[in-house]
Structure 1
Amino acid sequence: MPRCDIPDDLRPIGPPRGGRITIVSASVGAGHDGAADALALRLEADGFLVDRHDFLDLLPARLGRLLAGVYHRLLTSAPSGYQRIYAATERSGSPGPVVRALLRGAERRTLRAVGARSQAVVSTYPLASQVLGALRRDGRLGVPAFTYLTDFSVHPLWVAPGIDAHLAAHPVPAEQAAALGAAGVRVTGPVTGPRFAAADEAERRDARDLFGLPQDAPLALLVAGSWGVGPVRESAAEIRDSAAAEPVIVCGRNTALAERLRADGFRYVHEWIGDMPRLMHACDVLVQNAGGLTSLEAFAGGLPVASYRCIPGHGQTNAAALDEAGLAVWIRTPQDLTPVLSDLVKGPLGERQRAAGLALMSPDPGPAAVIAAAALPQPQVGRRRHLAVSRGKLAAATLTAALSLGVGAPLAHAYASDGGRLPRLAHSLVERCEL
């Protein structure tokens, strides 16, 4: 089936009504799902029905949860090893044979998830983009396929041949994607939830009362993603000792971290926060270590952002990209923490970054409008017959892939260059049998 070419000057002609769009995300942290949530809200407001799928559930033999779990353990227990693996896959530019075999095993489930009635499909996760691009390239997926780049830096695995358009929040990630050969690169601006907006002084004071925060002290909101990873305790102590701001710490779902911080004597420690817009209203600056969705939400709320003690891999590359864009200063040493935080809280640097962040949030048309405008009226999804797989082969492939895969994309290069028997066996089994 022919592809749908998306012109560079595409603009929506008005709010579409009555169609269906599929979004494929992944519950790896909260950033990919958060971006999918925001896109879904905008598309539903334009009259579309939105189907949501977690790519981890589309991988064969329940290996998606294993992938996420091992990735989590690497970030928390072996960050230097993860940095080396991330850098290696960045140089290689493509998944290794084990990951390619695993992704091939997800193709039939992904086609079924998209279904016959979707007018377009959107990925907010790089491995999902790889599968959708392959389906689009060989004609089995007959509707436009988009990648919404949730990161400010673009790892090569975000760029999937066959994807119709790669949507970027800013020219910096757009230029990176284009340099990697991405098709249909478009700067659409970011998408965040509608409640992330700038607050006036009355809203700020109400928010501080709501969370039991002091009215007159400068407050630094310290975040570490939904998993609470990275050297958070060190960052919190250094912010407190800087005297530039009092730390307000969000640990996500890391209950153990929250307990340790309370034992350390920190007064304002939270676990998962359901009302992050109000907590942002209460604070004067955001300090983050991963450069994901929370940074974009802070920009929407007029909150200056600093990157500090960033986690390996995407945390550091995102910090560099945000710094290049003039949106979030990257504080590289503890000695720079006090003067930079002071400037962000009440100096010209903070004013510049607030203005830049708010300006970023008002592009035309926005990613949801681009996706809506390109949706096709009647998609048809082709089917391909596949070999059945016996229970014995399924068990063997599951075990082999689990042992060989590790964390998926970041470890693919290491396994691909290993030359061992397990990667070759996993590749052979999953390639022959769509699990």
Structure 2
Amino acid sequence: MAEHTGAPPVTGPGGPCPQRITLISASMGAGHDGAATELARHLTAAGFLIDRHDFLDLLPAGTGRLLCGAYHQLLTWAPAGYQHIYAATEHTRRPGPAIRALLRSTQRRTLAAVTPDTRAVVSTYPGASQVLGALRQRGRLIIPALTYLTDFSVHSLWVAPGIDAHLAAHPIPAAQAHAQGAAAVTVTGPMTDPRFTPATADDRRAARARFALPHDTPLALLVAGSWGVGPVREAAAEILATRLALPVVVCGRNQALADRLRAEGIVHVHGWVEDMPGLMHACDVLVQNAGGLTSLEALASGLPVASYRCIPGHGQTNAAALDEAGLASWIREPDQLAPTLTELLHGPRGRSQRAAGLALLSSAPGPVQAVTALAAGRLPAAHSGVHAPAAVHPAALPHPVPVRLPAPRDPAATDPDAQPHPAARRPVTPRRPRPVRPAGAPRPARRRMTRMAVAVAATVSLGIAPLAHALSEDPSLHLSAFAHYLEDDDR
């Protein structure tokens, strides 16, 4: 007998009890969790009871934590390989067999996390969306499932068949999701902590004093996510060399990065910052490399935003989408850094970006309205168009440009059950015989091989796409990156 989750509204002695919403995020960095935190706060204020779950905890036998760490290592030591895999799979319509098997292993735990009185489930992580969509398609989850898109660009794994609605912060990610077949794409606007507001002159002076920052010098806040990944040292040195602003670097939980920056003469270096609204009040421009939640927080704070030395994959596609929206300037080459900082600090580009960011935050109601409506059964579950709530003023937002999808190469690209054309099958290369290790010779570096295997598994499993597909495009693209990752076992 099939297992179902969902029930009629719970009624107590005094009438209907508060309705419950389940949120599923993932502690892959801080962006997915940050979006879930704000969504939980807004939904709680609207009268809902909230259950939160980390998708990594739903993976079997601690696999989630292992894969998270390995993915972090891959992004740190093999960024070129990550970029090639992301690009090769950005518009793949269906996860490969390895991903589907891993996601199926979480279905029972996911159902167990959804209590009978839950009215809707919201995902802020693509892996969770894939599981929820599959459960909806099979009829095992009978309440609405929604995806809140936390990125400004939309990788294919964000779009899961079976999901009832996809909520986007802006028309550009909404158009990208719609072009990839997402259902009920709705522009709801972003969410940020209410402490992120434009600073007054008094706020600025107080914040600079609190963080021991100079009072009369332009400050560029340089952030690299909670992991502190990417070429942060290069970016900090180049900002300092422009003599236009002092870099104020936030390294997240990367203590080694903070220590190296201080040793290299960067004076204002921070680790994990609890009072990020105050630090943004102290600064004049944000320079970031991932395009996630911090960018939206800067827009809410009235800071102009520059994307520079972006991390591979979503860092670069987010930078392109933010630039297209007129919300952040994407600095693609080092020689563009100084003129762009000048324009953002003192010119019309900075003023226009501030206005566009504040307009985005003030003109859209956020996703709570859409979640509430779908939980009450007021949004069409099968609609696949892009639409916006009445509170969104289209004139304040740029016109979206849909993503162009590549034409399929064979029937299997559009029909998962179809067999590929015989001409599309690649010949099987005979496996080389394993060399015999001479007696007394040292054993292979097992630790390195384990790290490589786990890093590959992380890439496959945690929201990129099947590595086999990417390797089949051009194996040579990835070998050098993985070799670099394995060169030093003691990093």
1:130 aligns with 2:130: yes
State the alpha-carbon separation in 1 of the partners of residues 245 and 88 from structure 2. Answer: 38
Secondary structure at the counterpart of residue 281 of structure 2 = helix
Closer, same or farther: CA 206–159 of 1 in aligned 2, 3 Å: same
CA distance in 2, matches of 1:252, 1:149: 23
**Distance in 2 of aligned mates of 1:411 and 1:277:** 31
2:157–2:463 Cα contact (<8 Å) kept = no
Distance 1:417 1:361, change over 3 A: closer
- Larger deviation: 267-276 or 342-351? 342-351
* CA RMSD, Structure 1 to Structure 2 (Å): 2.1
- Cα distance between partner residues in 2 of 1:70 and 1:329: 31
Residue of structure 1 equivalent to 2:33: 33
Output the amino acid matched with 2:58.
Answer: L
SS state at 2:307 partner: strand
Q: Select between 357-366 and 245-254 the one with higher mean Cα deviation.
A: 357-366
Whole-angstrom distance in 2 between the partners of 1:99 and 1:60: 14
8 A contact 1:99–1:405 mirrored in 2: no
User: For the residues of structure 1 that align with 2:304 and 2:235, how far apart are their CA atoms?
Assistant: 17
Q: What one-letter code is carried by the residue in structure 2 that aligns with 1:406?
A: A
In 1, Cα distance between equivalents of 2:455 and 2:354: 47
Query: How far, CA to CA, are the matches of 1:177 and 1:270 in structure 2?
Result: 36
Determine if contact 1:144/1:375 at 8 Å carries over to the other structure. yes
Aligned position for 1:173: 173
Report the Cα distance in structure 1 between the residues aligned to 2:90 and 2:215, rounded to whole angstroms. Answer: 45
Aligned to 2:297, the other structure's residue is in SS state helix
| 3-state SS in 2 of match to 1:262 | helix
Q: 1:403, CA displacement in angstroms?
A: 8.7
Secondary structure of the structure 2 residue equivalent to 1:119: strand
* Cα 1:259/1:403, change in 2 over 3 Å: closer
- The whole-number CA distance in structure 1 between the counterparts of 2:352 and 2:122 is 33
Specify the alignment match of 1:150 in structure 2: 150
DSSP-derived class of the 2:241 partner:
helix
Structure 1 residues 257 and 140, CA gap change in structure 2 (3 angstroms): same
Structure 1 range deviating more: 25-34 or 329-338: 329-338
For normalisation by structure 1, the TM-score amounts to: 0.85
AA in 1 matched with 2:73:
R
The aligned counterpart of 1:369 is: 369
User: Which residue in 2 is equivalent to 1:83?
Assistant: 83
Greater share of helix: 1
Larger relative contact order, structure 1 or 2 (CA cutoff 8 Å, min sep 6): 1
Distance 2:302 2:357 in 1: 6
Kindly indicate whether residue 206 of structure 2 is the aligned counterpart of residue 206 of structure 1.
Answer: yes
What does residue 341 of structure 1 align with? 341
C-alpha distance in 2 between matches for 1:98 and 1:323: 34
Alpha carbons 2:147, 2:167 under 8 Å: kept = yes
- Output the CA distance in 1 between the equivalents of 2:351 and 2:241: 24
8 Å CA contact 2:136, 2:162 repeated in 1:
yes
Tell me the CA shift for residue 364 of structure 1. 4.0
Q: AA paired with 2:121?
A: V
Name the counterpart of 1:351. 351
Aligned pairs, number: 385
Q: Secondary structure at the match of 1:92?
A: coil
Partner of 2:73: 73
Distance in 2 (alpha carbons) for counterparts of 1:364 and 1:250: 29
Residue 240 (structure 1) shift:
0.3
Please list the CA deviations of residues 36-68 of structure 1 after superposition, one character each: whole Å capped at 9, or x if unmatched.
Answer: 000000001111111000000001222111221
Which letter maps to 1:225?
G
2: CA distance between counterparts of 1:81 and 1:403? 11
Amino acid paired to 1:330: W
Q: 2 CA distance for matches of 1:324 and 1:138?
A: 38
Residue 9 of structure 1 corresponds to none
Contact 2:199 2:301 in 1 (8 A): yes
CA deviations on 1:110-132 (whole Å, 9 max, x unpaired) are 01111211111100000000000
Of 253-262 and 408-417, the range deviating more from structure 2: 408-417
Query: Which of the numbers 458, 469, 488 marks the counterpart of 1:406?
Result: 458
TM-score in terms of structure 2 length? 0.76
SS in 2 for 1:154: coil
Secondary structure, aligned partner of 2:296: helix
SS of the residue corresponding to residue 362 of structure 1 reads: helix
Paired position in structure 2 for 1:424:
none
Matches within 5 A, 1:25-424: 25-376=25-376, 405-407=457-459, 408-409=461-462, 412-415=465-468
Where structure 2 has 5 or more consecutive residues not aligned to the other structure, the ranges are 7-15, 378-452, 473-491
Q: Which amino acid aligns with 2:217?
A: A
Tell me what 2:402 maps to: none
Structure 1 residue 70, shift from structure 2 partner: 1.4
Displacement of 1:216 after TM fit? 0.9
1:322/1:328 contact within 8 Å kept: yes
The separation in 1 between residues aligned to 2:81 and 2:90, in whole angstroms, is: 14
Residue 13 of structure 1 corresponds to none
Larger mean CA deviation between 269-278 and 187-196 belongs to: 187-196
Contact 1:290-1:315 within 8 A present in 2 as well:
yes
Identity %: 67
Instruction: Return the alpha-carbon distance in structure 1 between the equivalents of residues 319 and 56 of structure 2.
Output: 27
Q: Point out where structure 1 has 5 or more consecutive residues left out of the alignment.
A: 5-15, 378-400, 420-435
* Structure 1 residue 411: Cα displacement: 5.8
User: Residue 374 and residue 245 in structure 1: after superposition, are their counterparts in 2 closer, same or farther (change >3 A)?
Assistant: same
Any conservation in 2 of the 1:63–1:402 contact (CA below 8 Å)? no
Aligned to 2:363, the other structure's residue is in SS state coil
Q: Give the conservation status (yes or no) of the 8 Å contact 2:70–2:455.
A: no
SS in 2 for 1:103: helix
Any conservation in 1 of the 2:74–2:455 contact (CA below 8 Å)?
Answer: no
Distance 1:17 1:344 in 2: 50
* Shift in alpha-carbon separation, 1:404–1:277, aligned structure 2, 3 A: closer
Q: Secondary structure at the match of 1:230?
A: coil
In structure 2, the CA distance between the partners of 1:403 and 1:202, relative to structure 1 (3 Å rule), is closer
Bigger radius of gyration: 2
| Alpha-carbon distance between aligned partners in 1 of 2:5 and 2:140, rounded to the nearest angstrom | 10
* 1:228-282 CA distance string (max 9 Å, x none): 0000000000000011111000000000000000000111000000000000000
Return the alpha-carbon distance in structure 2 between the equivalents of residues 417 and 35 of structure 1.
Answer: 30
Structure-2 separation of matches of 1:169 and 1:418: 33
SS at match of 2:178: helix
